[in-house]
Amino acid sequence: MRARVKLYHSANSRSFRVLWALEEVKIPYELELLEFPPRLTRPDYLEENPLGTVPLFVDGSVRMTESAAICHYLGAKHPSRGLVPGHQDPNFGAFLNYLHFGEATLTFPQAVVLRYGRFEPEDRRSKQLVEDYSRWFLARARGIEVFLKLGDYAAGSMFTMADISVGYAVMLSQFTGLFDQLSEPIHQYFERLKGRQAFQRAVAAQTQS
């Protein structure tokens, strides 16, 4: 029987968050791999997602394109997995804060670094933008150290979808060349995340599909 849930995904892109989240909630899904950037490599994809971006997540009539929001959606739909604290939980505020911190604060500057350091044609690349936004990312990444002083994860002692959001941003820093400039506590945090079976299944899924 065809899976109700489908994810359009490009390897190691923001949609990796959703792939990881799907493995954490352990539900059947269909994975369609697209070469990045899909708006250029697969013009027909624009019929599915006019934005031309990944992820595109489909769950029946539900269609979503924001990776952090999809993680929240999946965690809320599958509460038994314990990946989204309830609103009465004292860690709920930290969960929401770092769920969005991972994308808005940590991923955005790295997207600029990649675009103007690698993806744009040579005549449109900008060393200044790459340097400025690299510094931006490294300064904001200290926010990870703030929550690590309070617990092993973004929302205390419990792994949540917020760690998928932040963890992907740390993972991305391996591709932007900034990972080695992050602190040892952040490196140790990422090692904990990589040790999760769901993370490892997600990595395998994007290479085997």
DSSP string of 18-68, one letter each residue: HHHHHHHHT---EEEE-PSSHHHH-GGGGGT-TT--S-EEEETTEEE--HH
Q: Helix 127-140 to helix 161-176 angle, to the nearest 10 degrees?
A: 140
Would you say residue 1 has pLDDT above 70? no
- Confidence band of 209 (pLDDT split at 50, 70, 90): low
Can you name the CATH fold of 92-196? Glutathione S-transferase Yfyf (Class Pi); Chain A, domain 2 (1.20.1050)
- Looking at domain 5-83+198-208, its CATH superfamily turns out to be Glutaredoxin (3.40.30.10)
Q: Where are the domains of the chain?
A: 5-83+198-208, 92-196
* Spatial distance between the Cα atoms of 65 and 12, rounded to a whole number of angstroms: 16
Write the DSSP symbol of residue 107. T
DSSP secondary structure letters along 113-161: HHIIIIIS-GGG--HHHHHHHHHHHHHHTHHHHHHHTT-SBTBBTB--H
CB atoms within 10 A of CB 45: 21
pLDDT averaged over the chain?
97
Q: Are strands 30-33 and 62-64 parallel, antiparallel or unpaired?
A: unpaired
User: What is the reported pLDDT for 5?
Assistant: 98
User: What is the reported pLDDT for 55?
Assistant: 98
User: What is the reported pLDDT for 39?
Assistant: 86
Task: Indicate whether this model's pTM tops 0.85.
Answer: yes
User: What is the reported pLDDT for 40?
Assistant: 84
Mean pLDDT for 115-133 is 97
Residue pLDDT, tens place only, 160-200: 999 999 999 999 999 999 999 999 999 999 999 999 999 99
Containing H/E element for 178? none
Are 14 and 110 contacting, i.e. CB atoms less than 8 angstroms apart? no
Residue pLDDT, tens place only, 5-44: 999 999 999 999 999 999 999 999 999 999 998 988 899 9
pLDDT over 90 percentage in the chain: 95
